[in-house]
């Protein structure tokens, strides 16, 4: 089994763990109603996706 010869420093460990943080969800604005929607998702307010009506909504 491979065993490290020396202990990793706190700085090196922190650099590795810097990539583990949660990132904010990327949002885009609906072209129809201008609400913030997660990218590649149907708008929950108006039901549009990629310029066409995909889901019927009550409004």
Residues 5-56: pLDDT tens digits? Answer: 999 999 999 999 999 999 888 999 998 899 999 999 999 889 999 888 888 8
Beta strand 36-38 pairing with 52-53: unpaired
Q: How high is the pLDDT of residue 51?
A: 81
> Hey, what's the torsion of the CAs at 38, 36, 54, 23, to 10 degrees?
0
Cα(48)–Cα(52) distance, rounded to whole angstroms? 5
Q: How high is the pLDDT of residue 37?
A: 93
Beta strand 36-38 pairing with 27-29: antiparallel
Q: How high is the pLDDT of residue 32?
A: 87
Give the model's confidence band at 59: pLDDT under 50 very low, under 70 low, under 90 confident, else very high: low
Q: What is the pTM of this model?
A: 0.55
Cα(56)–Cα(59) distance, rounded to whole angstroms? 9
Q: What residue segments make up the domains of the chain, in order of their start?
A: 26-59
């Amino acid at each position: 089994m491979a065993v490290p010869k020396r202990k990793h420093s706190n700085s090196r460990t922190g650099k590795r763990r810097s990539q583990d943080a949660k990132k904010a969800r990327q949002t885009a604005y609906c072209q129809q109603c201008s609400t913030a929607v997660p990218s590649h998702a149907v708008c929950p307010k108006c039901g549009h996706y990629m310029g066409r009506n995909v889901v019927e909504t009550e409004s």
